[in-house]
């Protein structure tokens, strides 16, 4: 009985604190400041890991692989139209792509939708992202390189085409530190600092 009463009292205390936080905007601001950046979810590998070259399709229907992008830091985002966190991430990815120096970085959003070539362009247009180019892997051939069981997933390759970081979750790419986070993988950015 005492244990049950202690649990009830602790739950009531937590509930009253939660109500106080929601009632006072100043407390909410402090809570938001304490929120950590989603960039902290990204795992940086202790050393670069070579990956196999697997083909996927670009917006014009041509087969490409990561070899094409050697010399740049490559941000690969695997997504699908049926994945709500993926769709939530797309506008921020578009803004990140616009902010990145195309001489040093390339963003490759790759849809794994089965009918990607038919549904992705209209889907992006409905989101107001018709200028956002997506790549396609409808047969999920990239499964040979990256796990596809959890999306969105982002994989970062260094300028030599080696895997250096990854995250299998939604990331807020509007984070003010996103570009400086990616810069750690660019030799060109390190020379400029």
Whole-angstrom CA distances from 181 to 91, 103, 110, 177, 189 are: 19, 17, 21, 6, 11
Is the pTM above the cut of 0.75? yes
Burial string for 4-42 (b: 16+ CB within 10 Å, else e) reads eeeeeeeeeeeeeeeeeeeeeeeeeeeeeeeeeebbeeb
Strand partners, 154: 77, 167
How far apart CA 132 and CA 15 sit, in angstroms, is: 44
pLDDT tens sequence for the chain (193 residues):
443 333 333 333 333 333 333 444 443 444 444 457 889 999 999 999 999 999 999 988 899 999 999 999 999 999 999 999 999 999 999 999 999 999 999 999 999 999 988 899 999 999 999 989 899 999 999 999 999 899 999 999 999 999 999 999 999 999 999 999 999 998 865 555 4
């Amino acid at each position: 009985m005492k244990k049950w009463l202690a649990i009830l009292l602790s739950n009531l205390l937590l509930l009253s604190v939660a109500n106080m936080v929601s009632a006072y905007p100043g407390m909410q601001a402090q809570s938001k400041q304490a929120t950590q950046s989603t960039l902290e979810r990204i795992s940086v590998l202790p050393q670069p890991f070579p990956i196999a070259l697997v083909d996927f399709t670009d917006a014009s229907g041509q087969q490409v692989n990561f070899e094409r992008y050697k010399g740049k830091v490559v941000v690969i985002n695997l997504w699908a139209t049926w994945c709500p966190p993926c769709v939530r991430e797309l506008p921020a990815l578009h803004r990140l792509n616009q902010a990145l120096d195309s001489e040093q970085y390339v963003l490759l959003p790759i849809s794994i939708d089965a009918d990607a070539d038919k549904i992705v362009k209209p889907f992006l247009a409905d989101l107001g992202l018709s200028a956002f180019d997506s790549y396609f892997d409808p047969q999920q051939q990239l499964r040979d390189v990256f796990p596809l069981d959890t999306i969105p997933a982002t994989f970062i390759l260094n300028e030599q085409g080696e895997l250096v970081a990854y995250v299998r979750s939604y990331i807020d790419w509007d984070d003010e530190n996103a570009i400086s986070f990616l810069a750690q993988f660019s030799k060109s950015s390190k020379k400029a600092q």
